């Protein structure tokens, strides 16, 4: 469990130094690459304009008419293609779909809205390849879940077609830091701390109003959104982010399914456990039912 906190948490905002950040980024990349099970899979990196991206595919030849656009987590301050390999490999193995991961720019060097701009570039790349919007599934974990939601909001704002479905794993949806679970579950969360959440929020959002939907999609208008699956563990400080999101989406008539996993922590799907495997199977079943 110490590894979980080391993997995610940088410490207090006062100790959020460039050295801390570089150390975390390197450790996540290395651990991500080592932890990803690549048997039967192919990982193809390529430049997408001036951004790095990669395809995760099944090794055997196949035609996939649908694709997953995966937004990695890391508090908008860390994570990358190496870190993306863990969940990208699991998503491909569970669904049989190709997964596109992209190396969006990170804060504090590139604060909001740089990540959204890069997400749009990845989306446009898929459109240029000939995928229809409804053929794309937006997926994200933690801050990547935030990015997936905000990307969908941006597409709707621009009058564009929306994806066929959204997959969210422990999404960070509320940057106001007012949620009940942020304090009530801090003692049982083995991965995240409120101090870490505050530090990465400041790095990404700076002095902007954290309640605006571009930062806290929890407070957005979700009308017209596609079917959405949310998975969250009981032992995480971002539990309320998922619970309240599901309530708001359902109240607005969205087909939203919330799965609460007992005794599980933030981003538990990344780890080699029975619960993680079952969660991936549920994702595959959800897509079969809704697409």
What CA–CA distances, in Å, run from 144 to 8, 83, 188, 252?
Answer: 14, 12, 23, 23
Reported as a pLDDT band with limits 50, 70 and 90, residue 14 is: very low
Q: Is the dihedral of CA 55, 232, 28, 78 positive or negative?
A: positive
* DSSP code for 159: T
Model pLDDT for residues 143-181, shown as the tens digit of each residue = 999 999 999 999 999 999 999 999 999 999 999 999 999
Q: Which pLDDT belongs to residue 13? A: 44
Mean predicted confidence (pLDDT) in 210-228: 98
- Mean of pLDDT values over 272-281: 96
Tokens coding 191: 């991965």
The pLDDT score that the predictor gives to residue 15 is 56
Assess whether pLDDT exceeds 50 at residue 61. yes
Range(s) of the domain holding residue 99: 2-290
pLDDT at position 3 over 90: no
> What's the total number of domains in the chain?
1
Contact 274, 247 (CB under 8 A): no
CA distances from 19 to 2, 25, 56 (A): 20, 10, 31
Q: Give all strands of the β-sheet with 98-102 in edge-to-edge order.
A: 41-48, 51-58, 98-102, 67-71, 136-141, 165-169, 228-233, 256-261
pLDDT of amino acid 8: 54
Is there a catalytic annotation at residue 37?
no
**Rounded to whole angstroms, how far apart are CA atoms 235 and 192?**
10
Query: How deeply is 255 buried, as exposed, middle or buried, from its count of CB atoms within 10 A (0-12, 13-18, 19+)?
Result: middle
- Least confident stretch, 9-23, 34-48, 226-240, 249-263: 9-23
- Per-residue pLDDT at 174: 99
- The answer to whether residues 268 and 275 touch, using CB atoms and an 8 Å cutoff, is yes
Q: Would the pLDDT of 12 be above 70?
A: no
Query: What percentage of residues in the chain have a pLDDT greater than 90?
Result: 81
Identify the CATH number of the domain in which residue 58 sits: 3.40.50.1820
Catalytic residue, from 9, 78, 142, 240: name it: 142
pLDDT, tens digit (0-9, with 9 covering 90-100), for 78-103:
999 999 999 999 999 999 999 999 99
Average model confidence (pLDDT) for the chain? 92
- Ranges of beta strands (E only) in 50-182 are 51-58, 67-71, 98-102, 136-141, 165-169
């Amino acid at each position: 469990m110490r590894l979980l906190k080391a993997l995610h948490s940088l410490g207090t905002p006062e100790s959020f130094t460039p050295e801390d950040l570089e150390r975390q980024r390197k450790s996540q990349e290395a651990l991500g690459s080592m932890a990803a099970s690549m048997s039967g899979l192919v990982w193809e990196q390529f430049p997408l304009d001036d951004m790095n991206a990669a395809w995760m595919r099944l090794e055997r030849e196949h035609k996939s008419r649908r694709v997953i656009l995966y937004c990695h987590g890391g508090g908008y301050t860390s994570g990358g293609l190496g870190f993306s390999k863990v969940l990208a490999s699991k998503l491909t193995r569970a669904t049989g779909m190709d997964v596109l991961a992209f190396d969006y720019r990170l804060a504090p060097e590139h604060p909001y809205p740089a990540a959204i701009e890069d997400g749009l570039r990845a989306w446009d790349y898929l459109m240029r390849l000939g995928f229809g919007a409804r053929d794309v599934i937006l997926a994200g974990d933690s801050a990547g879940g935030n990015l997936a939601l905000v990307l969908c909001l941006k597409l709707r704002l621009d009058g564009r077609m929306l994806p066929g479905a959204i997959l969210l794993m422990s999404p960070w949806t509320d940057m106001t830091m007012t949620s009940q679970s942020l304090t009530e579950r801090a003692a049982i969360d083995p991965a995240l701390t409120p101090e870490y959440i505050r530090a990465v929020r400041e790095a990404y959002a700076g002095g902007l109003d954290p309640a605006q939907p571009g930062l806290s999609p929890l407070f957005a208008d979700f009308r017209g959104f596609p079917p959405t699956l949310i998975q969250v563990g009981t032992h995480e400080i971002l539990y309320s982010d998922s619970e309240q999101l599901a309530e708001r989406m359902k109240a607005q008539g969205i087909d939203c399914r919330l799965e609460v996993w007992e005794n599980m922590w933030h981003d538990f799907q990344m780890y080699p456990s029975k619960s993680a495997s079952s969660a991936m199977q549920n994702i595959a079943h959800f897509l079969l039912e809704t697409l």
